Amino acid sequence: MAKIDSEGLEQLAIVRNALDGMYDKLNKKGVYSTVQEEFQFIAGVVDDAKHKWEKVDDSNVSEPSVMVNGQEYKPIGE
């Protein structure tokens, strides 16, 4: 099963809002039925990701580090 973190859930909310807006516009013009199957598929993937994917607890994620002979090395520029 796929996993998603809190940032991914925030992005899904943005995608879902965009889909809702597209639906309204397409429905108002009477052309929603021409893309209904594809639209419902995309909306289904978004809903599955939000409700069925495993949520990753990213609250305690730390920055990776490299230790060599007891000394920590960081990328250049930090």
12-34 pLDDT, tens digit each = 999 999 999 999 999 999 999 99
In a domain, 63, yes or no: no
pTM of this structure: 0.66
How many domains does the chain contain in total?
1
In a domain, 78, yes or no: no
User: What is the rounded CA–CA span in Å between residue 6 and residue 11?
Assistant: 9
pLDDT at residue number 73: 81
In a domain, 35, yes or no: yes
